[in-house]
Chains A and B, each alone.
Chain A
């Protein structure tokens, strides 16, 4: 539900970075969003559609990569992709495995000119 606020922040960060580079145009915004980050990729795309009605962003392409959840089981000493919200280890059933990936909320890069 806060995807619009996040996208406004993305545009703020991107505009500042582009200005620091002396760039005039932002061609591409590359974001990485973890599956556990509490945001919905489709809602982010919808939010970008709203934000990009501003002429500054009208020619900018949004590249959105969703990072799947990956956990680590300390009993079995191996990483796994959980298939439910409980994140139980598929081999030993242990709970509370720390997340290795899936919490990302990152502006990775811009393509500018």
Chain B
């Protein structure tokens, strides 16, 4: 039946070629976010891991050690604002995104949270993603760097199980080194797996609890800062 007037004439279906990316709207917002962050002179990091790898603990430690405090944090959590309160107590400016049932952050959510965050005089903004090694990998948030956290309690083969996320990482932080011996962490196996899956990623072995390894991470983040070249010229 013809859909326009209800007459009995049959209208042949026609093909409409689109070739539209399913994430194209997110990608456009991510590019706007990136331009916005650059205009504010911010280094923006997307921090990803499984639940319980210690993302928030890493940021608490980083908030205390960053040479030009405070750091800004946008933190995604399904239901609570515990993480934002922990980060504020550690000296960060933190804005919670309660994601409800969403399994990942997207560029729109980050844009809204950034507008609510007091980002005056920040130079480092970390987006703490929802704890999940699958979905967040697909969503560009407008970050400059992607950091994946792998804790020694998770099993050395995690990079092989979730290759997409580790393959997209600029750096991998191996966390909870302080308990590595107690849990029988096989360091060489973990490093081999990371080398196989994510040879592009810088590797930092650290402990958020003791602060071990953070000097190297901070030095690298400072090198990656969009204003680092200018700072170097001034010196």
What range describes how many residues of B lie at the interface?
A: 20 to 34
**B195–A109 touching, CB < 8 Å:** no
Q: How far is the CB of A51 from chain B (nearest CB, A)?
A: 13
Contact partner, A38, options B3, B17, B138, B199, Cβ 8 Å? B138
What range describes how many residues of A lie at the interface?
A: 20 to 34
Contact partner, A27, options B13, B102, B195, Cβ 8 Å? B13
Contact partner, A107, options B20, B132, B196, B200, Cβ 8 Å? B20
Q: Mark A1-13, 1 if CB is under 8 A from B, else 0.
A: 1100110011001
Q: Is B25 an interface residue (CB 8 A)?
A: yes
**B25–A9 touching, CB < 8 Å:** yes
**A1–B15 touching, CB < 8 Å:** no
**Residues on the A chain within 8 Å of B16, using CB:** 17-18, 21, 23, 109-112
Q: Is A92 an interface residue (CB 8 A)?
A: no
CA distance A36 to B199 in the complex (A): 17
* A13 to B, closest residue via Cβ: B20
A-B residue pairs, 3 tightest by C-beta: A24-B3, A105-B22, A2-B135
**Residues on the A chain within 8 Å of B13, using CB:** 25, 27-28, 111-113
Contact partner, B4, options A6, A17, A24, A109, Cβ 8 Å? A24
Residues of A within 8 A of B (CB): 1-2, 5-6, 9-10, 13, 17-18, 21, 23-25, 27-28, 31, 36-39, 85-86, 88, 95-96, 105-113
Given A88-B196, A106-B22, A113-B3, 12 new contacts (CB under 8 A): A1-B134, A17-B18, A38-B137, A95-B199, A105-B22, A107-B20, A108-B19, A109-B16, A111-B14, A111-B15, A112-B14, A112-B16
**A96–B103 touching, CB < 8 Å:** no
Q: Mark B148-180, 1 if CB is under 8 A from A, else 0.
A: 000000000000100110000000000000000
- Which parts of B11-67 form the interface with A (CB within 8 Å)? 11-23, 25
- Which parts of B179-219 form the interface with A (CB within 8 Å)? 195-197, 199-200
* B137 to A, closest residue via Cβ: A38
